[in-house]
Amino acid sequence: MLRGSNLLRLADYNEAVVLDLIRRNPGKSRADLQRDSGLASQTISNITRRLIEAEMIRESAPSNTLRGRPSIPLAVNGSGTFSIGVHIDPARLTILLLDVAGEVRDWKQLRTPQATSPEDMTSLIAVSTGRLIRESGVDRDRVLGLGIAVPGPLDVRTGVVLDPPQLPKWRDVRLRADLHDATGMPVLLDKDVTASATAELRHSDDADFLFIYLGSGVGASVVTQGQVLRGVSNNIGEIGDILVDPSAEDLGWSGRRGGLAAACVPEALVIQASQAGLLPLPDLDDYLAIDDACTTLTELAASGNTVAQALLYRAAQRVAVGIGVLVNFLDVPRVVLGGPAWNRLASTFLPILEDAVRSELVVSRDVFSVVGSAVGEQIAAQGAAELVMDHFLAPRPSVLFMD
Q: What are the residues binding a second copy (CB under 8 A)? A: 152-153, 162, 208, 220, 222, 224, 229-244, 246-247, 257-258, 321, 324-326, 328-333, 360, 362-365
244 versus 379: smaller Cβ distance to a second copy: 244
> Are the beta carbons of 383 and 194 closer than 8 angstroms?
yes
Q: Which residues contact 77 (CB under 8 A, 6 or more apart)?
A: 55, 56, 57, 58, 100, 101
Task: Give the nearest distance from C-beta 154 to a second copy in angstroms.
Answer: 9
Helix or strand holding residue 389 (H, E): helix 379-393
73 versus 231: smaller Cβ distance to a second copy: 231
Task: Give the nearest distance from C-beta 166 to a second copy in angstroms.
Answer: 12
Exposed/middle/buried for 173, CB within 10 Å: 0-12, 13-18, 19+?
buried
118 versus 324: smaller Cβ distance to a second copy: 324
Task: Give the nearest distance from C-beta 324 to a second copy in angstroms.
Answer: 7
What span, in angstroms and rounded, lies between the C-alpha atoms of 191 and 213?
A: 11
> Are the beta carbons of 361 and 374 closer than 8 angstroms?
no
Q: 3-state secondary structure string, 274-331?
A: HHCCCCCCCCCCCHHHHHHHHHHHHHHHHCCCHHHHHHHHHHHHHHHHHHHHHHHHHC
145 versus 259: smaller Cβ distance to a second copy: 259
What span, in angstroms and rounded, lies between the C-alpha atoms of 325 and 156?
A: 27
What span, in angstroms and rounded, lies between the C-alpha atoms of 301 and 295?
A: 10
Task: Give the nearest distance from C-beta 193 to a second copy in angstroms.
Answer: 11
Task: Give the nearest distance from C-beta 397 to a second copy in angstroms.
Answer: 16
Task: Give the nearest distance from C-beta 232 to a second copy in angstroms.
Answer: 5
What span, in angstroms and rounded, lies between the C-alpha atoms of 99 and 23?
A: 11
What span, in angstroms and rounded, lies between the C-alpha atoms of 255 and 165?
A: 10
Q: Which amino acid is at 185?
A: M
49 versus 365: smaller Cβ distance to a second copy: 365
22 versus 357: smaller Cβ distance to a second copy: 357
Task: Give the nearest distance from C-beta 257 to a second copy in angstroms.
Answer: 8
Task: Give the nearest distance from C-beta 132 to a second copy in angstroms.
Answer: 32
303 versus 364: smaller Cβ distance to a second copy: 364
Q: What's the number of CA atoms in the CB half-sphere (13 Å) around residue 331?
A: 2
225 versus 303: smaller Cβ distance to a second copy: 225
Q: Which residues contact 63 (CB under 8 A, 6 or more apart)?
A: 70, 71, 73
